[in-house]
Amino acid sequence: MKTSPILGRYLVAKEDIKAGDIILTVPPLVIGPIQVQGKPLCLSCYKEINDFNLPVRCEGCGWPLCSKMCQNSYQEYGHTEIECSFLRRSENKPGYNFNYHLYDFILPLRVALLKYTSTQKWTEVQKMQSHSKLRKKNKTFWNNDQIMIDCMKKECSVTEFTDQELHTICGYLQVNSFAVEHLGVSGLFPTAFLFAHDCVPNTTHIIDSKFNMTVRATVPISKGEAVTLSYANTLQGTMVRRAFLKETKFFNCICKRCSDATELGTFISAVKCQICKNGYLLPIDPLNKNSIWQCSCGDEKTEEIISLYIKKVSDEVEKVKNKSITEMEAFLKMFSSKFHPNHYLLITIKCLLSQLYGKSNRYLLHELSEELLLRKIELCKDLLQIFDKIEPGLSRIRGITMYELHAPLMIIATSIDKKNSEKYLKSQLKYIKFLLTEANLILSFEDSTSKEGQIGCAAKAALEESKQWEQLFGKL
Ligand SMILES: C[S@@+](CC[C@H](N)C(=O)[O-])C[C@H]1O[C@@H](n2cnc3c(N)ncnc32)[C@H](O)[C@@H]1O
């Protein structure tokens, strides 16, 4: 561990690390439901509870559980005896009046209870930054937390913790927690909270169904180099990432990607100049959020105008995301004259399309025309070129896109209508084998219950099948 005036404490490589190497595997300190999920779930195993007509409830506190199996099974990372004794004090239980907001205080309560249940875990949590002074300045965070704290205190007659202590816990969670969206939970982890952020991270992490976290290197990391992960969505532009990091993690990111207006040559935030219709508007000073945006033709726009336009199109993206393939393609066509083809708003839709072609109703792989197969190939290849720069190496998104790319390539290469030469076929199969090997390697790290894990299994099966090609064509 090192310390710097900018990053605070951060972790560096003790020795050279290879891509794919495990850097850390740790069990959580605490796990709980993601706040503001708005859905009832089992306090023990976090399965969603859909049927409130037949609720199984904890015999101690009366909170909903998913099944008899979870009843009274006090679990370290689920419903514990001490939590039950607190929840028992409340008359209100989620379910009858849809009072699901009660779930919001479960995770903060669990962190607070560590003080009584585990000195070692509580000591580890207290090492984390809560940024309380900065958080207090943000009235929205502070007031929302106060509502949650008042609710916890009222419902469970909590007198054991002061408001200040509970606000600090909210800070620990905001700054240091890791969410597992597909399991509907979030938690704090020892050591992992020390990784610094970078908008081109050199690691990826997974949290498995037992909540253990594994951090792996996605690219080689040299001895002494910072080991980083991304706290922000790497598939968004600098303006959005930096605003998110400032608002929720309280720092101004000055990483290599943020400092470069082109974002490492991807042009992921570039807006097409409507004056010369040729060049792109980019911020003159990307680290200044109020920077003027300029095109090489000399045209300039204020940040305000750019932001307003981006906001308007972002709203359109949100709407079109759930629409049909045809509507998404129409959206891309309409905005292709407004943005660089790699703009993140277009990339969001291109990512969805790269997966929908081949999966969606009436667009199953065997139903795709050659034109649509080629479209899927084009989308995947465009995306991979961007990911190579912003999510390089063994990143999840590269693994998924490589898997998506292999299928249309395979269909075209092996099409009987095409009289492909053996040489051509062999070179295509070699490329497909490379894609599957890479996708299998990347996605084999994933939890098998997750969507990515399932794609990983499919990649593995396809790779197995590819061995038959070698019987026909010799070593690929
Ligand atoms: C999860 S903590 C990381 C550990 C933290 N540095 C510490 O000493 O506890 C996140 C906090 O670390 C700091 N941080 C992490 N990455 C940073 C970066 N790239 N630039 C500036 N500050 C960073 C910020 O204060 C941020 O709120």
Mutate to test the pocket of ligand 1, among 2, 11, 125, 129 (most ligand atoms within 8 A of CB): 129
Nearest protein CA to atom 3 of ligand 1, as residue: 194
Q: Which structural domain range is residue 225 located in?
A: 2-26+191-229
Same domain, 164 and 206: no
pLDDT tens per residue, range 180-236: 887 889 999 999 999 999 999 999 999 988 999 999 999 999 999 999 999 999 999
Q: What is the pLDDT of residue 415?
A: 82
Nearest protein CA to atom 15 of ligand 1, as residue: 196
Nearest protein CA to atom 19 of ligand 1, as residue: 197
Nearest protein CA to atom 8 of ligand 1, as residue: 9
Strand partners, 392: none
Q: At what angle do helices 396-414 and 344-356 cross, to 10 degrees?
A: 50
Q: In the predicted model, is pLDDT for residue 52 greater than 70?
A: no
Mutate to test the pocket of ligand 1, among 7, 29, 132 (most ligand atoms within 8 A of CB): 7
Ligand 1 centroid, distance to 194 Cα (angstroms) = 7
Give the span between the Cα atoms of 296 and 285, in whole angstroms.
14
Same domain, 66 and 146: yes
Q: Is the CB of 250 under 6 A from ligand 1?
A: yes
Q: What is the pLDDT of residue 421?
A: 82
Going by C-alpha positions, the residue among 5, 3, 2, 1 that lies closest to residue 251 is: 5
Ligand 1 centroid, distance to 147 Cα (angstroms) = 27
Show the tokens assigned to 373. 């197969």
Classify residue 287: in a domain, yes or no: no
Q: Is the CB of 259 under 6 A from ligand 1?
A: no
Q: In the predicted model, is pLDDT for residue 350 greater than 70?
A: yes
Q: Is the CB of 238 under 6 A from ligand 1?
A: no
Classify residue 156: in a domain, yes or no: yes
Higher pLDDT, 130 or 35: 130
Classify residue 285: in a domain, yes or no: no
Q: Tally the domains of the chain.
A: 3
Classify residue 256: in a domain, yes or no: no
Ligand 1 centroid, distance to 128 Cα (angstroms) = 10
Q: Is the CB of 251 under 6 A from ligand 1?
A: yes
Residue % of the chain over a pLDDT of 70: 96
Ligand 1 centroid, distance to 196 Cα (angstroms) = 5
Q: Is the CB of 172 under 6 A from ligand 1?
A: no
Strand partners, 229: 197
Q: What is the 3-state secondary structure (H, E, C) of 1-31?
A: CEEECCCEEECECCCCECCCCEEEEECCCEE
Ligand 1 centroid, distance to 7 Cα (angstroms) = 5
Give the span between the Cα atoms of 447 and 454, in whole angstroms.
8
Same domain, 34 and 138: yes
Specify whether the CB–CB gap between 194 and 129 falls below 8 A: no
Q: In the predicted model, is pLDDT for residue 38 greater than 90?
A: no
Q: What is the pLDDT of residue 99?
A: 75
Ligand 1 centroid, distance to 74 Cα (angstroms) = 34
Give the span between the Cα atoms of 377 and 357, in whole angstroms.
10
Can you tell me which atom of ligand 1 is nearest the CA of 198?
A: 19
Confidence of residue 95 (pLDDT cuts 50, 70, 90): confident
Can you tell me which atom of ligand 1 is nearest the CA of 3?
A: 8
Q: In the predicted model, is pLDDT for residue 264 greater than 90?
A: yes
Same domain, 34 and 172: yes
Give the span between the Cα atoms of 87 and 91, in whole angstroms.
9
Classify residue 401: in a domain, yes or no: yes
Classify residue 471: in a domain, yes or no: yes
Q: What is the mean predicted confidence (pLDDT) over 169-183?
A: 93
Ligand 1 centroid, distance to 8 Cα (angstroms) = 6
Q: What is the pLDDT of residue 53?
A: 64
Q: What is the pLDDT of residue 101?
A: 83
Same domain, 35 and 79: yes
Confidence of residue 383 (pLDDT cuts 50, 70, 90): very high
Q: Is the CB of 130 under 6 A from ligand 1?
A: no
Ligand 1 centroid, distance to 245 Cα (angstroms) = 10
Q: Where does a domain end: 133, 155, 177?
A: 177
Can you tell me which atom of ligand 1 is nearest the CA of 197?
A: 16
CA geometry: angle 137, 142, 148, nearest 5 deg: 175
Show the tokens assigned to 235. 């598939």
Same domain, 157 and 63: yes
Same domain, 172 and 207: no
Q: What is the pLDDT of residue 263?
A: 98
Same domain, 210 and 86: no
Going by C-alpha positions, the residue among 190, 187, 278, 193 that lies closest to residue 231 is: 193
Classify residue 257: in a domain, yes or no: no
Same domain, 39 and 165: yes
Q: Which residue has the tokens 């929908």?
A: 356
Give the span between the Cα atoms of 1 and 3, in whole angstroms.
7
Q: Where does a domain end: 177, 203, 220?
A: 177
Distances (CA, A) of 109 to 33, 86, 114: 11, 9, 9
Q: Is the CB of 246 under 6 A from ligand 1?
A: no
Residue % of the chain over a pLDDT of 90: 81
Same domain, 98 and 220: no
Ligand 1 centroid, distance to 176 Cα (angstroms) = 9
Same domain, 37 and 88: yes
Q: Where does a domain end: 152, 177, 202?
A: 177
Classify residue 144: in a domain, yes or no: yes
Same domain, 151 and 22: no
Q: In the predicted model, is pLDDT for residue 54 greater than 80?
A: no
Q: Is the CB of 6 under 6 A from ligand 1?
A: yes
Confidence of residue 97 (pLDDT cuts 50, 70, 90): low
CATH code, domain with 7? 2.170.270.10
Higher pLDDT, 43 or 416: 43
